[in-house]
Amino acid sequence: MDDAAASERRALKIEVWSDVVCPWCYIGKRRLESALAELEHPEDVQVLWRSFQLDPSFPNGVRRPVLEVLAEKTGGSIEQARAMTDQLGVLAAQDGLNYDFEGATMVNTFDAHRLTHLAAAHGLGGEMHERQLRAQLVEAQTLDDRETLVALAAEVGVPADEARRVLEGDEYARDVEQDILEARALGVSGVPFFVLDRAYGVSGAQPVEVFRSALRSAREHAGSAAP
């Protein structure tokens, strides 16, 4: 396609509501990426990561084993929670993710989301979200620890001094809250939730084929809507 034709293509905007302690969110991210890799002109796709908290009521400063929290939420035993996560781990492995639920710690993720907004201001929102997902779900790091978050930010290219300043204050809190309010307005009750050009929605970590179909439909819609 020549430059003139390329300039007529309208960028496809994908917004993803996600939480960094959500194992299905990481699986969904990988499946979306697989579908995008098959797409012609993937450079015309913009992916924006929006904040969502699976449990906004989880107390700040409290750290609990993930298996313990899951058992409590489901009304089952630790053994039953372990069986559930083992099954999920098998699914995750199919997408190249090696989850560590045994060592994982549940925390309030609000600060982690604020840091993603800081990273987005540097053009690194996607990299920061990916790094935090991996830190929480694969590496069993503690994502309300300030120095851990600063180190993760620095790894993806966000200046450590900026990350520390943000975490010591309340910068980007309104951005996180706005993302969550917008999710509610869209009727989002769980994550991951994918919105393509505000015309198509995909709920959950669907198979790659579902993302492929949604991307095709969104591209066709964008083409028909172009002047």
Domain boundaries defined on the chain: 3-55+109-221
Instruction: Look at the pTM and tell me if it is higher than 0.85.
Output: yes
Share of the chain above pLDDT 90, in %: 88
Enter the CATH code of domain 3-55+109-221: 3.40.30.10
Give yes or no for a contact between 19 and 50, defined as CB atoms under 8 angstroms apart. Answer: no
Give CA torsion, residues 138, 49, 204, 207, to 10 deg: -80
How far apart are the C-alpha atoms of 160 and 20, rounded to whole Å? 20
Side-chain-side CA neighbours of residue 57 (13 Å): 1
- The model's pLDDT over 143-173, given as tens digits with 9 standing for 90+, comes to 999 999 999 999 999 999 999 999 999 999 9
Among 37-46, 119-128, 138-147, which is the least confidently predicted range? Answer: 37-46
Residue 12, C-beta contacts closer than 8 angstroms, at least 6 positions apart: 44, 45, 46, 196, 197, 215, 218, 219, 222
